[in-house]
Structure 1
Amino acid sequence: MSRGDNKNAVKILQEIQKSGAKFSWLEKLFRDKLRLERLSQESQDEIANLRQQLTVIPESKPDLLLTPSSDFIDFISQTFNLVQHDKYKLQATGIEERIFEYLETQLVDYINDEFSKFPEQQLSKKLADAIDDINNLKRGKDPDYRYSLTPHVYFMKYFLENVYCLYLAWFLIYQHGLLNHKMNILDIAAGPGTVAYGLALLLQSVNEFVTLPQIHISYYSLEKQDTFQYRGLQFWRQYIESQAKPINAYYRFVTNDILNWQKQASSVPEKFFDFIVVSHCFFSDADTRVKAHNNYKEIFANGLNDQGYVLLIIQDKKLFKIYNCQLSEDQEKERNIINQFLLELGLKLVWYQYLTSRDSRNPCSATEFSKFAEQTLPKQIYMTPLIQKYFGQKYSSNYKLDDYVILGKRG
């Protein structure tokens, strides 16, 4: 054993063990040495095996991205009557009736329940204040959004139409293969959470074509008016969470004025978000707009993760008015305006689409569009009677589009 003849020594140890004789201290020492060598070899083999597994994991790890379904894309294209007139202009004159009809009926029930809490005279006064404030949008001014029923008036006049737009915006992102089943979203000037509703409705539609993995959405609402946040969450709980397969969404409220936003005092996490969204919150007043854009730029720079995107949605006339231009079919002018807009926000273009109900960028009269909408566009069947009752509106409300959907990244 002392000469290092291990094979022969092992054979001798086995014979001694079979005979029942006791090992000498030298034989015990050699037996323990063999055991340690065996354990050491087993450990080395296990380490090598683990190392091999670690090199394989990145290649076999399931992708978080949702693979677009061609059947679903075809379904949406047909249901919404999508027509790609040119590289950037996408017309939509249809709707996913079942999804939006249920949303609309639930919203009408919610508003009726809310209005039933007020005496008729008090309700009329509160609605008049809120309507006058929100109608500033038509006068080219920025509303205060400070009245108790302003969220309800927004729900009635703009919410369904904006969810319709956001649904298609998220569809375009899905079509490009950019949606994850685990997403962190910051919604700036979020209102009642229209961005979250548009995404939730789209995922409901997708889930009827393909079995989605468990969806996890961390949704941060950055909004000045806490009443908008409260009403948005209240209706979310009534509508979204009553679904058979609700998405798993974590709501976080940051109640802060974007015009007075300060990074030092903010609870918005850094380098965290997959998407930061600004939907229809671009100011008419030039000084206010510059201040807001500077704050947006800082939030984008600090809040996006390395692979993150910014989704901007702005009405066509408002975008062109910023640069003192008129809408036209001049695509070069359109691209220049889009790029200038992104440059001011510290972003570079990934892609954009002009979502429109019409087949032309050129303006038309209100009378012409009203006739076109009545004949062609999907109607808000359940909301219209409510609007006619409280606002005295004579015509039917429709789902319509006139927005630029712009996807950008940090410049």
Structure 2
Amino acid sequence: MTNIERPNTDCMLQFACLQQLPRTMRTWKLSALSGANVLGLILILALDQTAATEPLNSRNAYVDLVLDPKSSASVLQGFKKKSTTAVIYMCYNRTFLIEPALESILRSEDLHEFDFIISQDGGGSAAPLNPEVPNNINYGYIRHQENLNAGLHHFFMKQLVFEVLGYEHLIVVEEDVIIHPQAIQMLKFMLDMSLDDLEIGLVCIIDVDNSYFVDMRRYNASVQRVSMPEGHLWVYGMHATRYRAVRKHLLDYTELIRREEYNDLHKDPLAAKIRAMYKRKGIPLNIPLSQDLNLQYSLRLEGFDRRLTTVARFMKPLGNWGLHFRDDKETFFGRFGTEMFEGRVHLPPKETSREDMKDMAQTCIAQLDELFMGHLGRHPDEKAKSFAVSRLLGGSLNGIVLISCITQTAKRRTSDCRDTYWV
């Protein structure tokens, strides 16, 4: 068991809290500080050029506290590091999503072998969580005093896990997913198998449901090497080595959004500043300006062009009102479906071989042909087959949407069905 070594942050914490009080109430608070801390506080106030006329914004003070590696561990008081792998559940304030998501994580196999931390953003708008965590799980809980925003929240967690606490591996589960009991176990195996593979930057659970087009009895434990920017990072894992390689890029992005509201990310002048940074670095300018894509393209800049993803979907999304998806339920679940792999995997996972990919392609074409003949009365053309196979082997075949395109009546079939899916 290794205790976390934390810097003396009492004064900084008290200062951050003190700044949130009306200025007339601050004097009596000084009596609660030690002599050394009083001297430190006097020095901080002396350096604060606006202290006499303008109170420091409480959110900015809290952001500065948690983004400083010297003080960020103060939000996790009493926690003792036991493992080399941290499993982080990142959430906000949607209790109806958090409760089932947390229940699924706590059912995870081998969770007791890792350290489990909940990091809840949202400040005062987020109701405190009190999950029933088994005694054999090493557990920590962070409830942020202020709303950081998703981009800052993600950087804070990576910095805390890798720089401050010194973990070797990070596994992230976002708020709005239910995960399979073996999802975390799968990710840890994938992290281990890719440690020395300098092409792989991340490992992740596939976010699309392609199960109709794959023989899951044979390939449920398979993983495949896919392009780095494909898909969404709902459940993923990362090595400390990869974090260190891209830390400067992540920090550049974080500094741009540090004082901004996350909803302003796609608006000028902030969007223009992010794109100007992307232009300098050679990152495409037409991508969404999210923290996930910033991470993925930063990894590409440092030579990590690929990621490992599962063939089977070991999670199912819950939320249609998230940061990137503002859809009604029918539209959202029409895109992502509601199912995940329900069987049991015989570990460890194995990367698909060329022979595996040939077999998967044949199964995909056979299933596609059956659908076309059953609903359209014809065989799929070569473009439709090529599309389905390339997407399947690239880890991005959304079987739910493809099936919907085939089974819809001609009147309800969208232009995307022909232009994108060749139906």
Which bin holds the TM-score, normalised by the shorter protein? Answer: under 0.3
> Normalising to structure 1: TM-score of the pair?
0.25
Report the structure, 1 or 2, having the larger helix content: 1
> Normalising to structure 2: TM-score of the pair?
0.24
Structure showing greater Rg = 1
